[in-house]
Structure 1
Amino acid sequence: MYDYVIVGAGSAGCVLAARLSEDPDVKVCLLEAGPADNAENIHVPSAFATLFRTRYDWDYDSHDEPALNGRRVFLPRGRVLGGTSSLNAMIYARGNRLDFDEWETPGWTYDEILPYFKRSEDNERGADEFHGAGGPLTVSNGRSNNPSAQAFVDAAVEAGLPANDDFNGKNQDGFGFFQVTTRDGRRCSTAVAFLHPVLGRPNLTVETNFQAHRVLIENGRAVGVAGQRLDEELTIRADREVILSAGAYNSPQLLMLSGVGPAAQLGMLGIPVVADLPEVGQNLQDHALVPLTFTHSQPVSLLTAMEPQNIRRFVEEGTGPTASNGPEAGGFARTRSGIPAPDVEFFAAPIMFVDSGLAFPTAHAISCGPALLTPESRGSVTLASADPTAKPRIVHNYLLEEADMVTAVEALRMGLHIARQPAMRPYTEELFRAPESESDQDLRAYVRRWTHSIFHASGSCAIGTVVDASLRVHGVDGLRVADASVMPKVGRGQPNAAAIAIGEKAADLIKHI
C-alpha cells in the first residue's frame, strides 16, 4: 500500500515522484513499463535516434493519415526511466506566453505557470525574470556549435528575419541556437535530474518493467493499479491518489482500459463503463514537420560524431559533434501578417535526418525544415482492443484542415528562401528530396509525401473536458492526469518543457499548496 501511485516515469512522472516523496511521511510508488536508463546511447546526445524502435521506445505509428497520402507516421515515445526525455532531441523551448493564456483556465496562465518553469531550472546563464537557477534540471547552451547550424541562423537574418538568442525570454520570434537539457555535454533527462538523486529515499519505490493494465476503481474511486512486471501479475494499491503520467498516447489508453472514456466505444469492447467521458483520447495534436535536407561536401556534419578524436573530445570535454543534440539551431517565425505569435518553428540539424530519423545518414548534410506550431487539425487515440498489451489506435489527421496545408506550403517556401541565402551556399549543394517546382500544386504534393511528426503529441486528456483545473479526472475520485495530454493546445514550443512544469504544478496541487 502506498499513498500515491504514479504511472509513467517520464517528463512529468519523475518530477512528481521526486516532489511528492519530499515528505518523509508519504509513501510513493513510481511505475515504469520500460527498463532503467543505463544504456550509454541514452546519455550521448547525438545518438538519440539510435534508440528509436528499440526496447526503450513504445514504437508507435499512426494509422493511415488521410491528408498524407494514407501514409502511416512513426511516433517514438520513451519506454524507459525518463520517458521521452530520455530519447528526445533535448530542446528546451517552453512555448509562447499566449499558449498558456489561451487555455483560459485559472491557475494556468503564463504568469502563473512561469514560477514552475523557473523552479525546475538550473540555467547556466543564471537566474533572471524568465529563468531559474539552482533547480534540478540543467538547461545549457549547446556544446557542438556546428558551423552549418550557425550558417542557417546567419541565412535567416540575411533573409530579413530577426536574430534571437533566447527563445524562452521576452520575445519568441527570431532565429538562433536552442538551449538544451544537457549537463556537461550529456543528456539531462528528468530521470537524471529529478529521480536519480532521490532513489535512496526509503519512502520512494520505483518499479521498472511494470506495464500498467488498468486503474482499479472501486465505488467511483481509484484505489490502485493492476499490471504486469515481466511475467508476474501485480496489484499496487494507492490510499490517496493514482496519477497517470503516461503521455498523450498511453494516458488516454489506460483511462479507457479502466472504463473511463466514450461509453459506446468501451461497450463495443466489453469494457465496463465507470465514467462516460466522450473526450478521452480526442483533441490529439502534434507538430508536423516538413523536412528539407541538403547534402554537401563539407566534412562538418554529425557523420563525424563517432570519429575517435570527436569521441575523445566528448569524453574529456563534453564538446564537439558527439555532444550535439541534432537540431542545434532554428527559430520561430510567422507565415503571414496579422497573427499574434509565431505559427512555425524551424530546426537546423547538421545531419541527414530523413524518414523520421529512421534512415541511416549516407552523406554530409543539413536538415532545416519547418514545423507547424498551431495546427487546427485534431486527431484521436482509441482502443484497438481490450487487451492492455495491444497498441492504441492513433490517428493525428495531420494537415487535414485546409488552413494547416496553407501554412505548411508557406513555411516550405520560407525554408527554401532561407536556404538560398549566401551564408548557406556551402551547405546546400543538393536538395536531397525536392519538389517538382514551387507551384502550389507541387509544394502540396511534396508536403503530403514527406511530412512527418516532430514527436510533440499533446492534448488527448485536456483540461476542461477530461480533467479539471486541478488535473482531477471528471467522474472518478482519487485519479489525476499530469502530463502533456492535459494541454488543451499543443503550444508554440517543445512540450517536454511544459510537461516538466505540469509535473511541478501537479505536485503542489496534490499537496494542496
Structure 2
Amino acid sequence: MYDYVIVGGGSAGCVLAARLSEDPDVEVCLVEAGPADTSPNIHVPAGAAKLFRTQLDWDYDSHQEPGCENRRIYLPRGRVLGGTSSINGMIYVRGNRLDYDSWRQPGWSYDELLPYFLRAEDNERGGSEFHGTGGPLAVSENRSRNPMSDAFIAAAIAAGHAANDDFNGPDQDGFGYYQLTQRDGMRCSSAAAYLAPVIGRPNLTIETGVQVHRVVIEGGRATGVTGWRADGEVMIRAAREVVLAAGAYNSPQLLMLSGIGPADLLTALGIPVVVDQPLVGQNLQDHPQFWLVYAHSRPVSLLVAGEQRYQQQFAEQHSGPLSSNGPEAGGFVRSRPELPAPDLQFVSLPVMFADGGLGFPSSHAISFGAYVLQPRSRGSVTLAGDDPTAKPRITHNYYADEADLRAATDGVRAALDIARQSALAPYTERPMSVPASESDTDIRDWLRRTTQTSYHAAGSCAMGLVTDSELRVLGADGLRVVDSSVMPRLISGNTNAPTIAIAEKAADLIRGVAPLPPAVAAAMSN
C-alpha cells in the first residue's frame, strides 16, 4: 500500500515521484514498464538513434494515415526510466505564450505556468526574466556546433530571417542554436534530473519492468493498479491517488482498459464500462514534419562521430560530434506576416535522415525541414483489443485539415529558399529528398510521401474534455492524468519542457499546495 502510485517513469512521472516524495510522511511508488536507464546510448547524446526499435522503445506505428498515402508512420516512445526524455533530441523549447493562454483552463495561462518552468530549470546562462537556476533540469548550450549547423543558421539569415539566440526569451521568431537538456555534455533526462538525486529516499519505491494493465476502480474510486512483471501478476494499492503519466498513447489506452472510455467500444471488447467517456483517446495531435535531404562530399556529418579522435574528445571534454543532440539548429517562422505567432518550426540535422530515422545514412549529408506548429487535424488512440499487451491503434490524421497541408507547403518553399543560399552551397551538392518542383502539386505529393512524426503526440486526455483543470479524470475519484495528453491544444514547439512544467504544477495540485504566483517567477530567475 502506497499513498500515491504513479504509472509511467517518463518526463512527467519522474517529476511527480521526486516532488511528491519530498514529504517524508508520504509513500510513493513509481511504476515503469521498461528497465532502468543504464544504457550508455541514453547518456551519450549521439547514441539516441541506436535506441529505436530496441527493448527501450515502445516501438509504435500509426495506423494507415489517409493524408500520407496510407503509410504507417513509425512512432518511437521511450520505454525506460526517463521515458521519451531518455531517447529524444533534447531540445529545450517552451512554446509560445499564446499557446497556453488559448487553453482557457483556470491556472494554466502562460504567466501562471512560467514559475513552474523556472522552478524546474538550471540554465547555464544564469537567471533572467525568462530563465531559472538551481532547478533539477539542466539546460545548456550545444557542445557540438557542427559546421553544417553554422551554415544553416547563416543561410536562414541570408534568406531574410532574423537571428535569435533564445527561443524561450521575449521573441520566438528567428534562427539560431537550440539550448538542450544536457549537463556537462551528457543527456539530462527527467530520470537523471529528478530521480537520480533522490534514489535513496526510503519513502520512494521505483518498480521497473512492470507493465500496468489497468487501474483498479472500486465504488467509483481508483484504489490501485494491476500489471505484470517477469515473476507474475502484480497488484499495487494506492491509498490516496493513482496518477497516469504514461504519455499521449498509453494513458488513454490504460483508461480504456480500466473501463473509462467510449461505452460502445468497451462493450464490444467485453470490458466492463466504469465511465462512459467517448472523448478518451480523441483530440490526438502531433506536429507533422518534413525533411529535405542533401548529400555532399565533406566529411563533417555525424558519420564521423565514431572516429577515435572524436571518442577521445568526448571522453576528455564531453564535446564534439558525440555530444550532438542531432537537431542542433533551427528557428521559428510565420508563413504569413499577419499571423500572431510562428506557425512553422525549423530543425537542421547534420546527418542524413533516412527511412523515418530507422535507416543508416549512406553518405555525408545535411537534413533540414519544419514542423507545422498549430495543426488543426485531429487523430485518435483506441484499443486494438482487450489484451493489455496489444499495442494501441493510433491514427494521427496528418493533413486531414487543408490548412495544415497549406502551412507545410509554405514551409517547404521557405526551406528550399534557405537551401539556395551560398552558405549552404558546400553541403547541398546532391539532392536526395526534395520535391520535383516548387509547384503546389509537386510539393504536396512529396509531403504526402515523406512526412514523418515530430514525436510530439499530445491532447488525447485533454483538460476540459477528459480531465478537469486539476487533471482529475472526470467521473472517477482518486485518478489523475499528468503528461502531454492533458494539453487541450498542442504547444508551438518541442513538448518535453512543457510536459515537465505540467508535472511540476501537478505535484502542487496533488499536494494541495497553493500555486506559485506569477510574481514568484522574478524571484526564481535571480
Match of 2:431 in 1: 431
TM-aligned CA deviation for residue 470 of structure 1: 0.3
What does residue range 298-337 of structure 1 map to in structure 2 within 5 Å?
298-337=298-337
Residue type at the aligned position of 2:259: G
What does residue range 20-169 of structure 1 map to in structure 2 within 5 Å?
20-169=20-169
Give the distance between the partners of 1:45 and 1:379, measured in 2 at CA. 31
Residue type at the aligned position of 1:137: L
Question: Could you say what secondary structure the match of 1:265 adopts?
Answer: helix
Residue type at the aligned position of 2:464: G
- 1:436·1:442 contact (CA, 8 Å) conserved in 2? yes
Question: Could you say what secondary structure the match of 1:31 adopts?
Answer: strand
Give TM-score scaled by structure 1 length.
0.99
Match of 1:418 in 2: 418
Match of 1:244 in 2: 244
Residue type at the aligned position of 2:407: T
- Of all paired residues, the percent bearing the same amino acid is 64
Deviates more, 1:434-443 or 1:50-59: 434-443
Residue type at the aligned position of 1:258: S
TM-aligned CA deviation for residue 62 of structure 1: 0.1
Match of 1:487 in 2: 487
TM-aligned CA deviation for residue 434 of structure 1: 2.5
Residue type at the aligned position of 2:496: N
Residue type at the aligned position of 1:251: S
Give the distance between the partners of 1:249 and 1:264, measured in 2 at CA. 20
Gaps of 5+ in 2: 514-526
Stretches of 4+ aligned residues off by more than 2 angstroms: none
Residue type at the aligned position of 2:216: L
Match of 2:226 in 1: 226
Residue-pair matches, total:
513
Question: Could you say what secondary structure the match of 1:116 adopts?
Answer: helix
What does residue range 167-182 of structure 1 map to in structure 2 within 5 Å?
167-182=167-182
Give the distance between the partners of 1:351 and 1:46, measured in 2 at CA. 11
CA RMSD, aligned part only?
0.6
Give the distance between the partners of 2:244 and 2:205, measured in 1 at CA. 16
Match of 1:201 in 2: 201
Residue type at the aligned position of 2:298: Q
What does residue range 250-265 of structure 1 map to in structure 2 within 5 Å?
250-265=250-265
Q: Deviations over 1:256-292 (max 9, x none)?
A: 0000011111111011111111110000000111111
- 1:217·1:223 contact (CA, 8 Å) conserved in 2? yes
Question: Could you say what secondary structure the match of 1:180 adopts?
Answer: coil
Q: Deviations over 1:418-464 (max 9, x none)?
A: 11011111111111122221111111110000001010000000000
Give the distance between the partners of 1:256 and 1:299, measured in 2 at CA. 50
Match of 2:185 in 1: 185
Give TM-score scaled by structure 2 length.
0.97
TM-aligned CA deviation for residue 373 of structure 1: 0.6
Q: Deviations over 1:110-153 (max 9, x none)?
A: 00000000001000001111101001110000000111101111
- 1:214·1:227 contact (CA, 8 Å) conserved in 2? yes
Residue type at the aligned position of 2:423: A
Give the distance between the partners of 2:417 and 2:275, measured in 1 at CA. 52
Question: Could you say what secondary structure the match of 1:102 adopts?
Answer: helix
Give the distance between the partners of 1:156 and 1:491, measured in 2 at CA. 23
Residue type at the aligned position of 2:163: A
Residue type at the aligned position of 1:502: I
Q: Does 1:406 align with 2:406?
A: yes
Q: Deviations over 1:141-167 (max 9, x none)?
A: 000011110111111110001010000
Residue type at the aligned position of 2:73: V
Q: Deviations over 1:5-32 (max 9, x none)?
A: 0000000000000000000000000000
Give the distance between the partners of 2:512 and 2:435, measured in 1 at CA. 55
- 1:123·1:140 contact (CA, 8 Å) conserved in 2? yes
Question: Could you say what secondary structure the match of 1:497 adopts?
Answer: helix
Give the distance between the partners of 1:65 and 1:196, measured in 2 at CA. 39
